[in-house]
Amino acid sequence: MENKLLTLWRYYPSGSIRVEEISETLQLSHKQTSRYLKKWNEEGWIAFTPGRGRGNVSTLKWKQDVEEVFEAEVVQLMNDRPIEESSKYLMYNWSTDSKLRLMNTFHSKLGFVKESKDKLIVPKRYPFFSIHPLEAADVHSAHLVANVFNRLVSITAEGDILPELAHSWDASPAKLRLYLKKDVRFHDGSILTAKDVVNCLEKFRTCAHYQDLWAPVETIEVKTSLIIDIHHPGGCSYILPMLSMVCASIYKENKDRILGTGCFSLEENSDAKTTLAAFKEHYGERPLLDAVEFVQVPKDFRGIYHSHIEESQSSSVEIESDSGFGVVIMNASPGRDSQIQRKEVRDYLHWVIAKNRHTLRDSDPRLTPNGKSILIGEDQSMTIREAERPLFTGPIVIRCANHTAKTIEWLVDIFEKEDIPVDVQWFSFADTLTKQPKTFHVDLFVHREIFESNQNFSFYHFLKNDFSPLYHLFTKDEKWKAQLDEYLHTPFGDWTALNKKVERRLMEQSIMIPLSYEKRHIPFSTDIMNIEIKHFGYVDFSKLWVRPEV
């Protein structure tokens, strides 16, 4: 099956045609197009009579209904072969009706599969950006990492620290001593030691994205094979919460593999399919599932987690989880020669956004307008008063990427209604994620963020880490840097008030403007048990199971 042949069928009925038009549609050279037409003619799909001389009209006659034949082949493939072998065909250039039928058939193959083992098949719309804990900056990759690797400790939403690879610890103002669990195995069967942990933490500490977080730590040392000391003589109130982060996952690199200790091991990872297999020698509770498979689907695919029970026998329920917040960031970092450095410009834009924020849902129904705070349950109680229009010396340069396109369109629309000149510059998601320098040569942008688990530490991490949209502000401006220094000596239990103080100042300076909340609704078959939301608002695969039929 060839997508180019399906595209030709979709756009060109039998009749006269120019080869140049086909070349443009199929994005091929004239010579390549002629070769394809000859091939399809020989295979019996078409009867093609070329025009005499370049540019002359040719004749195309269809001998078979390509879409009907291809659709039947894909359905047969879905029924007879592993589902990942057919997922790529969903990306073909189908008509709306064919695509809907294929999506429905594919949809029925997702969810729990009960064959020789219990397997959950999950749709993935994009490849995972990275499987390395230090590089998994997007939530999809971080969710994968959370299932494959363990941390030394974990943290609850309420701020309680729980043991994970470390069974206990002694904390003092200048040092943290960690005691490791015995006989914890990596996925290759080797035993975890304090040396493995220290090697991993040293890479975390020196990683460019996170080294500022580790600034208070002077040394990390092995005391015995199961004891580690982390020295922070000047104090580090957040050392344990920092060790609970997904990027603090413990791993071992062996040749081309990166090994974890998590309840699932990474068995396969390609664009078409990513497979997690239950790790039977996990130090904790073995997952009830045997495997989780992520298979590629189109971006507009809407999945549901089914069990092996027929859909007609099983109803579904939607589980709501937090999908993060959206903010407008005014790029007021020191050293930029831009009109956005003027507070009167930022305040005017802030007022325009605030008075139109309630219309945001018209552009994207998933968004709930929010002007109170990015901290759930908090309210800064700020009234944004009408600002005097400043002198604009040029257009406001706005950054846009696909994941923020709808919100940016809304933003541009409300600015243009106020006669604010704008210049929208497009970038790829990968460029914005990896913070390419060109993505910061802008005046403002929309940023989406979802906190990992505990809100108090996640807010600080949101400001401090190298991926942060505010990183340059808090590293180059001494007054803002002093705000973050307060965290070092403030007990972690008192961080809520400190977070609100920093956020309020960002809002008062019209640098960070709360915009929206977003909820994710995940449909599950009602016979799927023990659904728990964990890292980044995603389901904890290690706990899922299906009540068996007896």
Of 257, 42, 16, the closest CA to residue 131 belongs to 257
Compute how many other C-beta atoms are within 10 angstroms of the C-beta atom of residue 522: 18
Phi, psi of 16 (to 5 degrees): -75, 145
Q: What is the DSSP letter of 549?
A: P
Identify the domain containing residue 243 by its residue range. Answer: 150-261
Same domain, 498 and 426: yes
Token pair of 398 as six digits: 């706005």
Report if residue 372 sits inside a domain: yes
Residue 485 and residue 184: Cα distance in Å, rounded?
Answer: 37
DSSP codes joined into one string, 147-177: HH-B-SEEE-TT--EEESSEEEEEE-SSEEE
Q: How far is CA 220 from CA 198, 202, 403, in A?
A: 7, 7, 39
Residue 60 and residue 394: Cα distance in Å, rounded?
Answer: 53
Query: Helix (H, G, I), strand (E, B), or coil: what is residue 45?
Result: coil
Bridge partner list, 306 = none
pTM attached to this predicted model: 0.75
Reported as a single tens digit per residue, the pLDDT across 90-122 is 888 888 888 878 877 876 766 555 555 777 777
Q: What is the CATH number of the domain that holds 19?
A: 1.10.10.10
User: E-assigned strands of 184-290?
Assistant: 219-224, 227-231, 252-254, 257-259, 264-269, 273-278
Report if residue 412 sits inside a domain: yes
Helices (H), 45-158: 66-80, 84-87, 96-107, 139-148
Residue 240 and residue 120: Cα distance in Å, rounded?
Answer: 33
Report if residue 213 sits inside a domain: yes
Report if residue 209 sits inside a domain: yes
Same domain, 333 and 448: yes
Angle formed by the axes of helices 3-11 and 66-80, nearest 10°: 140
Same domain, 251 and 356: no
47, 64, 81 - which closes a domain? 64
The residue type at 407: T
Phi, psi of 119 (to 5 degrees): -130, 135
Report if residue 252 sits inside a domain: yes
Q: What is the CATH number of the domain that holds 490?
A: 3.10.105.10
Token pair of 461 as six digits: 């991490």
Report how many helices (DSSP H) and strands (DSSP E) the chain contains, helices first.
17, 24
Give the distance, in angstroms, between the CA of residue 244 and the centroid of all CA atoms in the same chain.
19
Report if residue 70 sits inside a domain: no
How would you write the pLDDT of the chain (550 residues) with one tens digit per residue?
899 999 999 999 999 988 888 999 999 998 999 899 999 999 999 999 888 766 578 899 999 999 999 999 999 988 888 777 787 888 888 888 888 788 778 767 665 555 557 777 777 777 788 889 998 878 888 888 999 999 999 998 888 999 999 999 999 999 999 999 999 999 999 999 999 999 999 999 999 888 888 999 999 999 999 999 999 998 898 999 999 999 999 999 987 789 999 999 999 888 878 889 999 999 988 888 888 888 877 766 665 555 544 444 445 555 666 678 999 999 988 878 899 999 999 999 999 999 999 999 998 888 899 999 999 889 999 999 999 999 999 999 999 988 889 999 999 999 999 999 999 999 987 788 777 778 888 999 999 888 887 899 999 999 988 878 898 888 888 999 999 888 888 888 899 999 999 999 999 999 999 999 887 666 566 667 777 767 666 777 787 777 666 6
The answer to whether 333 and 441 are in contact (CB under 8 A) is: no
Reported as a single tens digit per residue, the pLDDT across 217-236 is 999 999 999 999 999 998 89
Question: Could you give the angle at the alpha carbon of 323 between the alpha carbons of 317 and 145, nearest 5°?
Answer: 95
